Amino acid sequence: MSEPVLEFADASFAFGDVTILDDASVALEDGTFVALVGPNGSGKTTALELFAGLRSLDTGTVTRPATTGRTVAYLPQSPRFRPGFTVREVVAFYGSLVETEVDADAILSRVGLGGATDRRVDELSGGMTRLLGLAQALIGDPPVVVLDEPTSGLDPDIADHIFEAAASMAADGRLVLTTSHDLEAVSRYADRVLLIANGEFVLDGSPAALVEQAGAERLRDVFSATVAGSGRDAVDIDARTEGDSA
Ligand SMILES: Nc1ncnc2c1ncn2[C@@H]1O[C@H](COP(=O)(O)OP(=O)(O)OP(=O)(O)O)[C@@H](O)[C@H]1O
């Protein structure tokens, strides 16, 4: 049975007068692939950093798994690896930092890099670099994996591959939490969608349930209607459109 492994309780955080979380509470369970969506500037990356422990809440609490070893793996939007090393060497290096035995080749095969183990990391494409980031996230078998926009800038096939890999990491029992603007892929792969706007999780449910509840056709439509209804203040689209057409 699924259990909460990551939780915000009455969580608040702001950058000066920019509110990211305003007394927000949410509990995320293991074995679930959760997509955190929201408009640009709504605070997705910051929320991930708060979940992962890279930042601290102003008030409220965040609860993470009470396990020994690596508890939360965090993959930033643009992962960087030290040039000059091969893919296998990078995984072996990170593997040497955890207590459990790490089979670098097995992890690399798992994410689809089995054919690239001897490639130098500075010679990888953007997509392969993301896959290496996913491999790094699996090292030490953390119960929570947090991914920040893992498919931005990638072709649809690699993006699908990354979503599939993330969904299968969740199916193995982990909580996988990702941000994404790709609502079509989110609809297909995520078990649960959280929409953050104005410091709150304004939508929370499975993609199918959210679409059905709204009487909409696609998650994209639910997103637009909810963001418009929440008084979008992060990016002024109308102003941008006027400027573009001038
Ligand atoms: N280090 C920082 N100092 C001050 N303000 C910040 C900092 N980092 C982010 N912000 C502000 O916090 C808000 C949320 O930023 P964040 O990057 O979390 O949003 P996001 O939802 O991930 O955006 P995007 O979808 O564009 O990646 C934005 O208004 C941003 O300008």
What contacts 58, CB < 8 A, 6 or more positions away?
12, 13, 14
Q: Where are the domains of the chain?
A: 4-67+144-245, 78-142
Residue from 17, 18, 232 to probe ligand 1 pocket by mutation (most atoms less than 8 Å from CB): 18
Q: What are the pLDDT digits (tens) for 80-109?
A: 998 999 999 999 999 999 888 889 999 999
Contact 188, 220 (CB under 8 A): no
Q: What are the pLDDT digits (tens) for 122-136?
A: 999 999 999 999 999
Q: Which amino acid is at 22?
A: D
Is residue 237 over pLDDT 70? no
Q: Which residue has the tokens 């643009």?
A: 78
Q: What are the pLDDT digits (tens) for 177-200?
A: 999 999 999 999 999 999 999 999
String of DSSP letters for 20-67: EEEEEEEEEETTEEEEEE-STTSSHHHHHHHHHTSS--SEEEEE----
Contact 30, 143 (CB under 8 A): yes
Q: Which amino acid is at 46?
A: T
pTM: 0.91
**Average pLDDT over every residue of 49-65:** 95
Three-state DSSP class for residue 11: strand
ipTM passes above 0.90: yes
Between the CA of 31 and the centroid of ligand 1 the distance, in Å, is 28
The third-level CATH classification (topology) of the domain covering 4-67+144-245 is Rossmann fold (3.40.50)
- Please identify, by atom number, the ligand 1 atom nearest to the C-alpha of residue 77: 27
Q: Given pLDDT bands bounded at 50, 70 and 90, which one contains residue 246?
A: very low
Between the CA of 235 and the centroid of ligand 1 the distance, in Å, is 11
- What CA–CA distance (Å, rounded) separates 85 from 64? 33
Whose C-alpha lies nearest to ligand 1, atom 31?
41
Whose C-alpha lies nearest to ligand 1, atom 26?
40
Q: Given pLDDT bands bounded at 50, 70 and 90, which one contains residue 45?
A: very high
- What CA–CA distance (Å, rounded) separates 35 from 194? 6
